Structure 1
Amino acid sequence: MALTDIAIRNAKAGDKAIKLADGGGMFLLVTPAGGKLWRLKYRVDGREKLLSIGTYPEISLSEARKRRDQARELLAQGQDPSREKRRAKVRAKAEAENTFKALAGEFCTKRKKDGQKAWAPATAKRCEYLLSLLDGSIGKLPVGDIEPADILAAIRKIEGKGNLESARRTLQLASMVFRYAVATARLASDPTRDLRGALTAPTVTHYGAITDASRVGELLRAIDGYEGMGSAKIALQLAPHVFVRPGELRHAIWEEFDLEAAVWTIPAEKTKMRKPHHVPLSKQAVGILREALPLSGPTGYVFPSVRTRARPMSENTLNAGLRRLGYTSEEMTAHGFRAMASTLLNESGKWSPDAIERALAHGDADKVRAAYHRGAHWKERVEMAQWWSDHLDALRKGADVLPFKGRSVHG
């Protein structure tokens, strides 16, 4: 006989557990302590099993019957309701743990250890910061529950503050996190895939750079007269000679330099292309470094922070120095020394484009060509480094700037 709510409420506990049947294998177990528990008895492969459905009155009679029917549907499909219940618990626990913030942290940890493709420290710091901007909006949500509208609303907050490039990059990073979740079987698809084009495109700006020969001389003379912090002046003096990326210059340590051999070897983890980069040093570059040696050497950062030698100088130091010299960010930046060298070296016609590209440590989409470049052009680059420093000295002294004549045998 089927149970009723009145019969269940009136059921009293006894010295032993009492079973009140409702039909279809389900019964209410009344314990000696007075608890009322729903149970379903069923068979799988000839073995009798018991499924816990819940506690009355938290699970009402009608809800218990609904769950019984669902369990019997699973049985009809050849599935064990108890096993499926355990799987559902595991999935629910995993979903609760797989929040966007947790997966973003896991993804960043992976990218920092990703072999040759690993993020440089500065890149990792920037990416982790941008992803942290999403903590307050979608950070605590399981990735499986995040909808495109949730992401767009979160990114629009960044965009609304005028940070268009940060908004674009944050959306790009969020997509990487979701694709990582897909790759690790914790998400079916990337919810950002349909959001392309939803954000306002930032205006592309180029690094300010002086590429006019006569103005280069003015800049070099201004740097020589710089009255700021000693290491900043030396870094500004060295930058045009080596024209590496500002981050590589700031993070340079003495152990990377062989002043006798006149070579600076930047390790792979510090370069944008994740390959070691060898920089031939001119006599002038070696001389500048020897001036810096008693200030910060013989170990540790060549250009340490003013606060502690345990950290490199701030990423704003060189640009701030250029501002103090009167150059706006549109005129000249620390990164602009690269464009300066690239422009004037190419205009000279004395050096092969491949040697100049290798000196700038640019990547090459052609893997065969890139592999060839690793060992090529070194002799030419050594000669080019010395010519370039000599040319900078001539410009600094205010020599007449004459048109470059012809190409050398290096071309």
Structure 2
Amino acid sequence: MSRVSPHQLTARQVSALKDGSLADGGGLWLVAQGEAKSWYFRFTSPVTGKRREMGIGSVANITLADARRRATEARHQMADGLDPIDERRRQKAQDRKETGITFAEVAQRYIKEMTPGWRDPRAATIWTSSLKRLAFPIIGAKSVAEVETEDVLSILRPIWQTTTETADRLRGRIERILDYARTHGWRDGENPARWRGHLANILPKPSAVTKVRHHAAVPRKDIARVMARLAESEGMAAKAVRFTCLTAVRSGEVRHATWLEIDMAAQIWTIPAERMKTGKEHRVPLSEGAMTVLHEVLPLRDQRAGDLVFPGAKRGRPLSDVALSKALHLAAGTKDVTVHGLRSTFRDWAAEETDYPREVAEMALAHAISDKVEAAYRRGDLFDKRREMMEAWHKNTNI
């Protein structure tokens, strides 16, 4: 505590101070820097034993009498063994909680603040949609400070065994939103959506109840027939499916591809990191078949409308997943196959019908390397070997 007794300053001294600082005593200080003059309470924390300084406010808003009153309150807190700064923060948090900010409001703030850092441009829409459908009807209007374990279970239990993957993702989203609320001081205590050591004691493991669903793939023996049927179609979606098959990439990467990413002379498609699931740039060698598709769609290039390689029906918009699926179903004569499954067809062909090393096929698929040692030693992208393999794949689909 300050050795100077309180109430040393006069109103005239406060008004006259232009630069520097003056002590009113009892830990209260007036600090002036040019036109700005503010009150501070300086003290040694009874909790940590460290010197601290707490801002009280500007002289323009806080009179000498008000500053002395607040300093007195701080000294009383210290006499009770409390740190005035910590107490002020605790009170602000309590005030915020008493305003009753709802879970839905916190969720919307979280999504808005996190969206710029999310790699997938669809993430905000996916988060919002799942929360609106499944969480908001139960806890959306509830104060975020009052969300408890039973609330979370009311959301998860009806879908935990039927749509386990969706339920687990939703649980993770709720957990992150509640962590965000706690960091802002809008709630206290443990996170009721936490899995480890909490919900894991109540719900069965996702892996124990979920059924692994593989993307249905076109059989290797049928791929040439399906590709021939696709080639007969003049539709943009059919061409996009052919290109997807011949490059072994994900359909989303094809649907959003732009001409600026493609080097026609070098026959290379460079997909930027922000559009890759792995978050790393991916170079795709373009086979003769892939180049044929590009030459078919090149006359339709529209640089003023997104410059998309495979534009959708609406100008400047990409094709939809549904459009590609319909084109594949029509060519295959069945709905029991998926566009993503074409990657499995390619992988099966590479493993069963060729001598190409496993890592060449894995790199063509742009799979993340789970083995840290393998990842450390793999420096290049095996591009020349991949080009050779993709040419062989083109010939296999063109028999």
Same structural fold, with TM-score higher than 0.5 when normalized by the shorter chain: yes
Taking the aligned partners of 1:374 and 1:328, their CA distance within structure 2 comes to: 42
Match of 1:256 among 253, 257, 261: 261
1:325 equivalent to 2:328? Answer no
* Aligned-partner residue type, residue 151 of structure 1: V
2:115, 2:123 within 8 Å by CA — same for their partners in 1? Answer: no
- Could you tell me which residue of structure 2 aligns to residue 273 of structure 1? 278
Q: In the TM superposition, what whole-angstrom CA distance separates every residue of 1:219-239 from its partner, at most 9, and x where no partner exists?
A: 122222346xx2112112212
* Aligned-partner residue type, residue 88 of structure 1: Q
Q: In the TM superposition, what whole-angstrom CA distance separates every residue of 1:8-43 from its partner, at most 9, and x where no partner exists?
A: xxxxxxxxxxxxxxxxxxxxxxxxxxxxxxxxxxxx
Alpha carbons of structure 1 residues 85 and 348: separation in structure 2 relative to 1, 3 Å: closer
- Of 274-283 and 183-192, more deviation after overlay is shown by 183-192
1:211 equivalent to 2:219? Answer yes
Taking the aligned partners of 1:231 and 1:244, their CA distance within structure 2 comes to: 17
Q: In the TM superposition, what whole-angstrom CA distance separates every residue of 1:171-221 from its partner, at most 9, and x where no partner exists?
A: 232123234445666544221232246378342211000233x21122122
1:98, 1:142 within 8 Å by CA — same for their partners in 2? Answer: yes
1:138, 1:146 within 8 Å by CA — same for their partners in 2? Answer: yes
Alpha-carbon offset, residue 375 of structure 1: 1.9
Gaps of 5+ in 1: 1-44, 52-71, 395-411
- Could you tell me which residue of structure 2 aligns to residue 386 of structure 1? 391
Taking the aligned partners of 1:211 and 1:95, their CA distance within structure 2 comes to: 61
- Of 141-150 and 259-268, more deviation after overlay is shown by 141-150
1:243, 1:360 within 8 Å by CA — same for their partners in 2? Answer: yes
State how 1:98-137 maps to structure 2 within 5 Å: 99-114=102-117, 118-133=118-133, 134-137=135-138
- Could you tell me which residue of structure 2 aligns to residue 167 of structure 1? 167
- Could you tell me which residue of structure 1 aligns to residue 154 of structure 2? 153
Taking the aligned partners of 1:347 and 1:326, their CA distance within structure 2 comes to: 22
- Could you tell me which residue of structure 2 aligns to residue 140 of structure 1? 141
Alpha-carbon offset, residue 314 of structure 1: 1.2
- Could you tell me which residue of structure 2 aligns to residue 337 of structure 1? 342
Alpha carbons of structure 1 residues 325 and 95: separation in structure 2 relative to 1, 3 Å: farther
Q: How many residues align?
A: 320
Match of 1:311 among 311, 317, 320: 317
Alpha-carbon offset, residue 327 of structure 1: 4.1
Taking the aligned partners of 1:47 and 1:101, their CA distance within structure 2 comes to: 36
Alpha carbons of structure 1 residues 85 and 243: separation in structure 2 relative to 1, 3 Å: closer
Alpha carbons of structure 1 residues 259 and 96: separation in structure 2 relative to 1, 3 Å: farther
Taking the aligned partners of 2:253 and 2:115, their CA distance within structure 1 comes to: 17
1:250, 1:303 within 8 Å by CA — same for their partners in 2? Answer: yes
Aligned with 2:270: secondary structure?
A: strand
- Could you tell me which residue of structure 1 aligns to residue 10 of structure 2? none
- Please report the RMSD computed on the Cα atoms of aligned residues, expressed in angstroms: 3.4
1:195 equivalent to 2:202? Answer no
Query: What is the TM-score when the length of structure 2 is the normalising length?
Result: 0.70
- Could you tell me which residue of structure 2 aligns to residue 93 of structure 1? 96
* Aligned-partner residue type, residue 360 of structure 1: L
* Aligned-partner residue type, residue 357 of structure 2: S
* Aligned-partner residue type, residue 243 of structure 1: A
Taking the aligned partners of 1:191 and 1:231, their CA distance within structure 2 comes to: 48
1:178, 1:189 within 8 Å by CA — same for their partners in 2? Answer: no
Aligned with 1:215: secondary structure?
A: helix
- Could you tell me which residue of structure 2 aligns to residue 40 of structure 1? none
Alpha-carbon offset, residue 391 of structure 1: 2.0
Alpha carbons of structure 1 residues 310 and 157: separation in structure 2 relative to 1, 3 Å: farther
Alpha-carbon offset, residue 305 of structure 1: 2.0
Alpha carbons of structure 1 residues 168 and 50: separation in structure 2 relative to 1, 3 Å: closer
Alpha carbons of structure 1 residues 372 and 211: separation in structure 2 relative to 1, 3 Å: farther
1:364 equivalent to 2:369? Answer yes
Q: Which structure: larger Rg?
A: 1
Q: In the TM superposition, what whole-angstrom CA distance separates every residue of 1:240-296 from its partner, at most 9, and x where no partner exists?
A: 100111111111111111111111111111111111111110122112111111124
- Of 356-365 and 137-146, more deviation after overlay is shown by 137-146
- Could you tell me which residue of structure 2 aligns to residue 235 of structure 1? 240
Aligned with 1:232: secondary structure?
A: helix
Query: What is the TM-score when the length of structure 1 is the normalising length?
Result: 0.68
Alpha carbons of structure 1 residues 221 and 92: separation in structure 2 relative to 1, 3 Å: same
* Aligned-partner residue type, residue 153 of structure 1: S
- Could you tell me which residue of structure 1 aligns to residue 309 of structure 2? 302
* Aligned-partner residue type, residue 167 of structure 2: A
Alpha carbons of structure 1 residues 369 and 185: separation in structure 2 relative to 1, 3 Å: farther
2:238, 2:328 within 8 Å by CA — same for their partners in 1? Answer: no
Alpha-carbon offset, residue 75 of structure 1: 8.2
2:139, 2:147 within 8 Å by CA — same for their partners in 1? Answer: yes
Taking the aligned partners of 2:229 and 2:386, their CA distance within structure 1 comes to: 28
- Could you tell me which residue of structure 2 aligns to residue 27 of structure 1? none
Alpha-carbon offset, residue 341 of structure 1: 0.7
* Aligned-partner residue type, residue 122 of structure 2: A
Alpha carbons of structure 1 residues 152 and 358: separation in structure 2 relative to 1, 3 Å: same
Taking the aligned partners of 2:331 and 2:322, their CA distance within structure 1 comes to: 14
* Aligned-partner residue type, residue 357 of structure 1: E
Taking the aligned partners of 2:268 and 2:376, their CA distance within structure 1 comes to: 21
Identity of aligned residues (%): 32
Taking the aligned partners of 1:324 and 1:357, their CA distance within structure 2 comes to: 29
* Aligned-partner residue type, residue 310 of structure 1: G
- Could you tell me which residue of structure 1 aligns to residue 357 of structure 2? 352
Gaps of 5+ in 2: 1-67
